Structure 1
Amino acid sequence: MTGPPLPLIEDYLREAGFWHVAMISRGCKLDPKLISALIERWRLETHTFYLPCGECTITLEDVHLQLGLLVDGDAVTGSVHSADWGAVCYELLGAIPDNINGGRIEMGWLRDTFPEPDDNSIELEKIQYARAYILQIIGGYMMPDLSRNLVHLRWLLKLVDFRAAGEFIWGSTVLATLYREMCRATRWNKAKIGGCLSLLQSWARWNHSASYARLLTCLEDIWLLLEQRSEAQFQWIPYEDPTIRVVIPDEYLQNPNALHVKVPLVNFAIVEMHQSDRVLRQFGFQQPIPVAPEVLDDHHEIDLRQLHTDWPRF
């Protein structure tokens, strides 16, 4: 994002649950070497990183406490079939892009079409701008695809009512997408990966915080670093650090039990398991021997090309 959200749309973003992520979704420079090294250690069977210190992973706790997104509520799913995406754009945004590719539009069009509202803007213009702004957050930060410039209009269907949008578990949606993208990168092409990579990177740096006192410029250095980290050196519960705890809003700490449940994460056609029982040390618990992971090979073959599927019933 080019700048912080305007105070004029703060109420809409808060109501929809996007205010905190809107405030932090700028200025993050990705480190391709670190991301590549992590993907090398990702296991798609367990959704965990295999390191000498043990299994660890990005969890709902990380999504909730870092991005401020809801992880306990209604799943983001539903039909993705629309006979006329242009009509959807006109109804909810007040404008229709020249190009709609399979339900996806260019984020550049959103930036060019919706100038920042001012005090003279009517309520409808502010609402339309807020929807366009959230679409940019989703497509550019929370769940970017490989293009980094397209966002699907299925998300717009969830922004008809901001209060209803605030009931959806956007945090679980972000994590399901990131899991799926890392699994695909592991299986097919490690050089191409979408999803919230800034979350992946910040998770790694928080848990390996002592290792980043110096800048690592060589991929081999990062590999060596990951291999040499002992269990004692790994920061299993970084959010217990007082310097970190103090900046986390109290409202995000009200329901800690929801952060380490073992559940399927759902995002329309995506179903990925949150296998927190394998990384209990990240929640301050003793880790027993993990059981066999859930087998989700068939689910990895499912995508949105099955347009007429009723995903909630599926």
Structure 2
Amino acid sequence: MMQHLDMALLSAFVERWRPDTNTFHMPFGEISILLHDVHHILRIPVDGQLMGDEASQDTLKSDMGGLVRLSVDAQVGGKWKSKWYDNGAMHAEGLLVRGGELKIKEMEVQCYLFVLLGSTLFVDKSRDRLRPAINLFLKDHRRLADYAWGAGALAYLYRQLGVATRAGSKGLCGCLTLLQAWIYEYFPLFRPSQLPQSPDAPRASSWISPRLPGGDEARQRLVRYRQLLDELSADDVTWTPYGRDGHTDIPRSLYTGPIRFSDIAEGYDPSRCLRQFGYRQIIPAAMTVPHDQYRPASGSSYIVFWDPWVNQLWDNVAARRLELDFASRPCEHPSEIVEEYVDWFLTRSHPRITHPTDGEPQPRPLLVHQVSYDFLLFFQISKTFVIYSNIDFYFYS
């Protein structure tokens, strides 16, 4: 899929991503990638055990050494870093270990899944490096089906979108197939051709993504995409692309709280995107917030820290499930909102990315009561970065 990714389109959406809410801020409000989107687009499980296992660097090195027949001391010289392992080393050193035939076959499967998942759901910017943490969930093949792989992939993508909003970031990683297919599902304006597909097939496989040129043409597309997104209204969005009941078979999509992949945890709040469930959008309640966060301009020290007890929220899904009928009501038109929502949103967001020309209405200014100084939003306006201080988590409540 890398050859078919429209990086200009993805960049235009990254500019509208808000890491504190994990939603895209559009002129008409918030919209995001939800767990039932992951289910329909990729057809991987979003329910199951939370992927919250962590391990020390020494443990990860030892596990990797078993896969590639290298001692811990030999895994240096570019093969090993704290967050990734060089995929090329696996091919150069071989994927098997010495042992009985059964053990070799098990290791073959483990290595194959490690490379597969590292090349699809948990992609690194280099496109040829793999996160050793993936191996934590592959050591026992009997437990493979127990994990919520879709929730882990979404948490990882949320984090990479947040890192990509930093001024010093030069790329985007994560499951970009999911992101691009999600854009196609919700925004008809950007859709390519589509093939007929069976109801149970991953919807991502039905889109015929064209190979688009880069360079100056990509930059021109980016400018055009920005303008189109600035002009979008709620009526231009397909709010329920899988049908008005597309979420009913995915109860986990209404979960509210953090989702995880190993050491990465990100907040997930469907109450900010009720229109994606076919319900009228109301002013959302307060979010479950992390214990601490640090999002510098460079992105290299990007940290969001959650207390260990938040893992229990995933297991208590009954208590953490958003009750749609209690929160809102089904709407006749998918883009319906309460009257107060627009004023609430405009005092907490910036509705446009491109610089308005003379004669166009100016966007409403941000109403800043409580500023989080460690979180800055960057908008590229007329080739100049203008920095806005974003509102703290608690101000969104």
TM-score (norm 1): 0.74
* 2:30 paired with 1:30: no
Q: Is the 2:54–2:263 contact (alpha carbons within 8 Å) kept by the matching residues of 1?
A: no
1:224 has 2:227 as partner: yes
1:68 correspondence with 2:55: no
Following superposition of structure 1 onto structure 2, how do residues 91-106 of structure 1 map, counting pairs within 5 Å?
91=66, 93=67, 95-96=69-70, 98-99=74-75, 100-102=79-81, 104-106=84-86
Aligned pairs (5 A) from 1:184-223: 184-212=163-191, 218-223=221-226
Could you say which structure has the higher strand fraction?
2
Q: Distance in 2 between matches of 1:238 and 1:129?
A: 39
Residue of structure 1 equivalent to 2:256: 262
Q: Structure 1, residues 246-290: CA drift from partner, whole Å, max 9, x if none?
A: xxxxxxx88322112212112222221111101011112221122
Pair 77,51 (structure 1): closer, same or farther in 2 beyond 3 Å = same
Count of equivalent residues:
272
Partner of 1:153: 132
**One-letter amino acid matched to 1:290:** P
- The verdict on how the C-alpha distance between 1:145 and 1:311 changes in structure 2, with shifts beyond 3 A counting, is farther
Q: Identify if the C-alpha distance between structure 1 residues 186 and 84 changes in structure 2 by more than 3 Å, giving closer, same or farther.
A: closer
Matches within 5 A, 1:49-60: 49-60=24-35
Change (3 A) 1:39 1:166: same
Contact 2:290 2:307 in 1 (8 A): no
> Structure 1, residues 38-74: CA drift from partner, whole Å, max 9, x if none?
0111112211111123210111111122222222221
What SS class does the counterpart of residue 223 from structure 1 fall into? helix
Residue type of the alignment partner of 2:70: I
Aligned partner of 1:80 among 55, 63, 66: 55
Identity of matched residues, %: 28
Name the residue aligned to 1:238. 241
Distance 2:263 2:62 in 1: 24
Q: Which has the higher contact order (CA 8 A, sep 6+)?
A: 1
Q: How much has 1:137 moved relative to structure 2?
A: 2.2
Matched residues in 2 for 1:80 and 1:197: separation? Answer: 26
In the alignment, the residues of structure 2 paired with residue 310 and residue 295 of structure 1 have an alpha-carbon distance, to the nearest angstrom, of 10
C-alpha distance after superposition, 1:73-115 (max 9, x if no partner):
2121233215365542354x36228534235422123345249
Q: Which moved more, 1:133-142 or 1:36-45?
A: 133-142
Letter of the 1:105 partner, please give it.
Y
1:234 Cα deviation (Å)? 0.5
Q: Show the counterpart of 1:14.
A: none
2:107 corresponds to:
128
Structure 1 or 2, whichever has the larger Rg, is 2
TM-score normalised by length of structure 2: 0.60
CA RMSD of aligned residues (A): 3.5
Q: Mark the CA change 1:311 to 1:146 in structure 2 (over 3 Å): closer, same or farther.
A: farther
Q: Distance in 2 between matches of 1:208 and 1:124?
A: 48
Query: CA 1:80 to 1:211, structure 2 compared with 1: closer, same or farther past 3 Å?
Result: same
The amino acid of 1:108's aligned partner reads G
Residues 271 and 83 from structure 1, CA distance in 2 versus in 1: closer, same or farther, beyond 3 angstroms?
closer
Gaps in structure 1 of 5+ consecutive residues: 1-25, 116-120, 246-252
Within 5 Å, which residues of 2 pair with 1:172-183?
172-183=151-162
Distance 1:155 1:305, change over 3 A: farther
Range with bigger deviation, 71-80 or 207-216: 207-216
Query: Which whole-Å CA distance do the structure 1 matches of 2:189 and 2:310 have between them?
Result: 46
Corresponding residue SS for 2:4: coil
1:77 and 1:311 in contact (8 A); partners too: no
Query: How far apart, CA to CA, are the structure 2 residues paired with 1:310 and 1:53?
Result: 34
Consecutive unaligned residues of structure 2, counting only runs of 5 or more, are 194-209, 312-397
The residue that corresponds to 1:46 in the other structure is 21
